[in-house]
Amino acid sequence: MRFTILAVLVVICVGTWWVAKAQNRTRVRDAIVSVKYPVSEWQHGQKTSRVIATRYGNKVVGYNIGFKFPLNGDDCDRAELSDFMRLHDGDVYQGGGSFGAEMFVVFKDVKDKETANVKLKAILPALSQLIKDLGNGVKVDIPQPKNTKKWPDTEPPDKNNPYWEFNNNMNVNGTQYKKAEVSPGKWQWVVDEKAMKDMVERDNHRRELFAALSSRVLTDAEMKEVQSYGSNLNLEWNVPYYPEQKAQELSNVLQMQQILVQRQSLRSSP
C-alpha cells in the first residue's frame, strides 16, 4: 500500500513538473517573440518588421484595423490568419484577392485609437511570428475559441450592433457572402448571388472604361469614374500582376486619351 501511494505521488510530482516546464517554455517563447518583433508606433497605427497595422474609423463598419504583410504578399489571405484574428475576438470582413492585399478586421474590444493600440501591442509580436512561419512553410495549428462554429455555420446577426448590416456580409477572395437562415434557428454564410451579379457588372463596366480610354474620347462623367478608380482601373481580382507593368499600362492609355482629345479639338477648330 505504501509503495502504491509513493508511486502515485511520484506520478503527480512528475506531471506537475512537466506542466510547469511546458508553461515556462511558453513564457520563454512569448518573451523571445516579443523581443524579436518589437512593436513601434507610426502615424496611423503600430508596426513590426513583418506587419504594418493601420487604424481606420468608418461610419459603416465602425472602428477597424487593416493589416499588411510586406514580406509575405503571397500569404495575406491564409486561413490561419483569419483563425488568429478570431482567436483574438476579431472578424475579418475583407482580405485577399490580390498579391499583398490588406486584411481588414473588426475587433469586439476595439472602439477607438487607445483600445486599438492596446490590442495591437498585444497581438503584433505573435502575428509577426505566425506570418513568418506561414511564409517558411511551417504548419501552424491555431486553437479555436470556445463555441466556435465551423464554416459555413455562423451566429445570427446581432441587431443590437449598430453595424450589424455591414457585419452581415463578408468578401473572401472575391466571393461575396451573406448570413442567411437556412433552416429554423440555423444560420450559415451563403453566396450572395445578387452582390456577385453586381460585382460582375461593375467589373465589366470598369474594363469597358479602360478599353475606351484608348479608342474614343470619354465624356466628363466617364473621366470622373476613371479618376475614382485611380490605379485600380486595370487590376483584376485574383489575378497576379506586377505593379510597375500595370502602372505603365494605365499611363499608356491615359496618354492615348489625351491624344484623342487633342485630335478632336483640332478637328472642331475653325
pLDDT tens for the chain, 270 residues long, are: 433 443 433 344 444 444 444 444 444 344 456 568 999 999 999 999 999 999 998 877 789 999 999 999 888 888 899 889 989 989 888 887 778 889 999 998 999 999 999 999 999 999 999 999 999 999 888 887 777 777 789 989 988 877 788 778 888 777 899 999 999 999 999 999 999 999 999 999 999 999 999 999 999 999 999 999 999 999 987 788 898 999 999 999 999 999 999 999 998 877
Judge whether 186 lies within some domain: no
Mapped onto helix, strand or coil, the DSSP state of residue 168 is coil
Residues 108 and 48 in one domain: yes
Is residue 29 domain-resident?
no
Number of structural domains found in the chain = 2
Residues 59 and 143 in one domain: yes
- Domain assignment present for 9: no
The range of the structural domain enclosing residue 130 comes to: 40-148
Residue 214 lies in a domain: yes
Same-domain status, 120 and 54? yes
CATH number of 92's domain: 3.90.1150
**Are 139 and 206 in a shared domain?**
no
Secondary structure E strands in the chain: 40-42, 45-47, 52-56, 64-68, 90-95, 103-107, 153-154, 169-172, 175-183, 186-191
Strand order in the sheet with 40-42: 40-42, 45-47, 52-56, 64-68, 103-107, 90-95, 169-172, 175-183, 186-191, 153-154
Residue 21 within any structural domain of the chain: no
User: Does 143 lie in the same domain as 51?
Assistant: yes
- 34 occurs within a structural domain: no
Cα–Cα distances (Å) from 127 to 39, 44, 99, in that order, read 11, 18, 19
Question: Do residue 68 and residue 144 come from a single domain?
Answer: yes
Question: Using CA atoms, how far apart are residues 164 and 123, in angstroms rounded to an integer?
Answer: 25
* Cell (9 digits) for 73: 504578399
Which pLDDT score, from 0 to 100, does residue 35 have?
A: 64
Q: What's the rounded Cα separation, in Å, for the pair 8 and 20? A: 18
